[in-house]
Amino acid sequence: MSEDRASHGMELMWAPWRMGYIRSKEAGGCPFCIPPCGDEEGDRARHVLARGRHAYVCLNLYPYNNGHLLIPPYQHTGDITELPPEALAEMSELMRVGVEVLGRWAGPQGFNVGYNLGEAGGAGVADHLHMHVIPRWLGDTSFLCVVSSTKVVVQALDESYDELRPLFVEAMERRGLAG
């Protein structure tokens, strides 16, 4: 038994990358509020894969599975009824692009797609709504999830970004959506 476990009665799991999220919450910053226009360096740092007029696609910094996408609107709101119809339509179109790209990239057997609206609905960032696109495979919920509430993500975000970004650029151009 590790010294940490013996002294605390539990196993410690280190996740230092979460500090950025914690600090942004402490500073009152919204992780989804970004300008509608960005540069390549800023988009890479934020893992932004594609931009539309009303919304954008980025990798989830705390993914359920590799390739877990988020699609937030540029408008800061937690109320889906406040978004204009064209923003919701574009988010749906970006979701379709995401499903296409992830299908080509990783060959998932299914997807979870949707919103967690409000804190009670499971939203980690309740005041800025966002759509999730999560690739899924049969059996991707292993014993680790059930026994220890632990999920294994097998590829670093920067590696996923480098592989997905050109696929999104091509898909957005082909559909005439390049922002």
Active site residues: 130
Cβ-count burial 118-148 (b if 16+ within 10 Å, e if not): eeeeebebeebbbbbbbbeeeebeeeeeeee
User: For residue 77, how many other CB atoms are within 10 A of its CB?
Assistant: 13
The C-alpha angle with vertex 62 and arms to 109 and 66, in degrees rounded to 5, equals: 30
Which candidate, 78, 84, 71, places its Cα nearest to that of 127? 78
Token representation of residue 122: 């499971």
Contact by Cβ (8 Å): 44, 64: no
